[in-house]
Structure 1
Amino acid sequence: MTISLRPADVSDIAAITRIYADAVSTGTASYELAPPDEAEMAKRFSAITGQRYPYLVATAEDGAVLGYAYASAFRTRPAYRWLVEDSIYIAAEARGRGIGRLLLEALVKQSTDLGFRQMVAVIGGASLASIAVHRACGFRMVGTLNGTGFKLGQWLDTVFMQVTLGEGDSTDPDPARYPGTLFSG
């Protein structure tokens, strides 16, 4: 199966909503308890892409969306503007095929090219598959918060992983390279 990556667009919202709804309903990656509808997912998509953060989809040869990933603000205070958080969701029928890794590698590259200096993964439910994908892409463990969520009848831990992008904290950032409009100054 040939997998292609491309920027997500509004025509992908239905597929993105379906993939995320499954993750919310059956998994622990998201701590949401009720899946948002298409209107809410479109609003979230617009907020992320409106700030010019990268948002990607992985598609099959027939164009079916198999997964998606995006980078977004970790926190909105201005000093955090060089740090992004990644999010990756894969359709149930496409898991275990390396799609998450392809998406994450592309997301890391695009975020680096945009001038971001660090990327953090906030891994709900301490998912072993997500930890493995992040580790394969150079992320390192930076902490675990125990018992931070209660979902599907169980207490869940949250794992934090981090990877340095570009020059990281070895040089001062260049504000002219930051593409977003969320932060100024």
Structure 2
Amino acid sequence: MSSLEIRPTAAVDLPSITEIYAHEVCFGTATFELVPPDLAEMTRRFQALIEGGFPYFVAVLEGSVVGYAYASSYRPRPAYRFTVENSVYLRPATHRRGIGRQLLERLIAECETRGFRQMIAVIGDSANAASVGVHAACGFRMIGTHPHVGLKFGRWLDTVMMQRELGQGARTVPGGEGGTG
């Protein structure tokens, strides 16, 4: 495999990201969206994440964006501010080459640097063994399954929940909450 570059996402990457995600929406079960968002919507989502202080990376192979990963707010209420949810998507031709794991590892490291304490993976479709496996390999533990919560392609799908501590995790309380940071 040629040298893989993982770098922060730039606006120029958004057409490729939109294409990668559209394929997953139309043909995969990793996302429960049913209609692919257009470039304008993907740009809006990207800007909201960056403005919110969340990391967003692309994987570039031979000059082309082949995958991306980002962290987002797990839930909107303030008590969840140290918990993020991760998302990782790849072009189908690049599956099973270690790119998803490299993206996830970079995302984890960056989230730790930014002071987040927990990362949640909400994996669409319990049959998605590759995603469950890469998360387990990166230190996530299974916390549960929500059976039959999504209907896509004429069948009911589960979501698998996995979690990983970041940095000090729950061993300390970040400053400003009466803790030691």
- Shorter chain as denominator, the TM-score bin is over 0.9
TM-score (norm 1): 0.92
Distance in 1 (CA, whole Å) between partners of 2:117 and 2:27 is 33
1:52 to partner: Cα distance? 1.7
Partner of 1:111: 111
What is the rounded CA distance, in whole Å, between the counterparts of 2:136 and 2:97 in structure 1? 16
Deviation at 1:35, TM superposition (A): 0.5
How far does the alpha carbon of each residue in 1:127-157 deviate from its partner, in whole angstroms, 9 at most, with x for none?
Answer: 1110001000000000100000010121100
**1:137-182 Cα shifts (integer Å, max 9, x gaps):** 000000100000010121100000000001111111135xxxxxxx
Distance apart, 1:25 and its partner CA: 0.4
Which ranges of 4 or more aligned residues in structure 1 deviate by more than 4 Å?
Answer: none
- Corresponding position: 1:22 with 2:2: no
Match of 2:4 in 1: 3
1:19 maps to a residue whose letter is I
Return the letter of the residue paired with 1:111: C
Asked if residue 138 in structure 1 is aligned to residue 139 in structure 2, the reply is yes
Q: Return the alpha-carbon distance in structure 1 between the equivalents of residues 175 and 94 of structure 2.
A: 39
Match of 1:86 in 2: 86
Q: Give the match for residue 58 of structure 1.
A: 59
Q: TM-score, normalised by structure 2?
A: 0.94
- CA RMSD, Structure 1 to Structure 2 (Å): 1.1
- Is there any run of 5+ residues in structure 1 with no aligned partner, and where? 176-185
How many equivalent residue pairs? 175
- Cross-structure match for 1:158: 159
Q: Output the CA distance in 1 between the equivalents of 2:119 and 2:37.
A: 25
Identity %: 52
Q: Which amino acid aligns with 2:75?
A: R
Give structure 2 stretches of 5+ with no counterpart. Answer: 177-181
Q: Which has the higher contact order (CA 8 A, sep 6+)?
A: 1
